[in-house]
Amino acid sequence: MRFKYSLMGVVLSFLLYSTSYSEEELSQGLGFAAGYISGLGISYKVHTPGKLCLQFTGGVWKTKKKLSYDLGFLLQRTLHRTENIRFYILTGVGYFHRREKKWDEGLKKNRWEDHTDLNTGFGLGIEVIRYSRIGVGIDGEFTYFPDDDQILFLPEVALHYYFK
């Protein structure tokens, strides 16, 4: 388990240490994202004047028998950028909470069951800009699930509308 956290620390250090800043404008995006690290829901993305990008995602879903919410944070570092394409490495953390109403036969009534996941990971991604404002991102990430002590390679997707 220490190895996994050490690896996350190395990736995060690389992302932060190798940032260079230029005179580029701050660019922001609003849209949707879905993934086990980024979260599932409405997403806000900020490109710094250098090579870093921060993405925050969150969502809430409720039915009669279920309440779910999540928050995700991604830190991306641009490796290469052209006018319409951006390649990047990323790391992040996603918090997921689910509460379900279950029938308890022994108590003869409903009770609530809670389940929480805190996933971390890192990976590579590509974002394609269309019509000068619409960004479509696809990431491949090694995601660590601490409850099961598993690391899985999983995709994430995002769609953002950029504004200045």
The pTM assigned to this predicted structure is 0.79
pLDDT for 16 beyond 80 = no
Element of type H or E holding 48: none
Task: Tell me the domain boundaries of the chain.
Answer: 2-15+25-163
Letter for the amino acid at 122?
A: F
Phi-psi region for residue 41, left (φ > 0), alpha (ψ -120 to 50) or beta? left
Element of type H or E holding 15: helix 2-17
Please say whether the structural domain 2-15+25-163 has been given the CATH code 2.70.150.10.
no
- Total length of the chain: 164
34-64 pLDDT per residue, tens: 999 999 999 999 998 889 999 999 999 999 8
User: Higher-confidence residue: 112 or 2?
Assistant: 112
Instruction: Map residue 105 onto helix, strand or coil.
Output: coil
Phi-psi region for residue 10, left (φ > 0), alpha (ψ -120 to 50) or beta? alpha
Cα separation values, 142 from 71, 85, 90, 131, Å:
18, 22, 10, 31
pLDDT at residue number 8 = 56
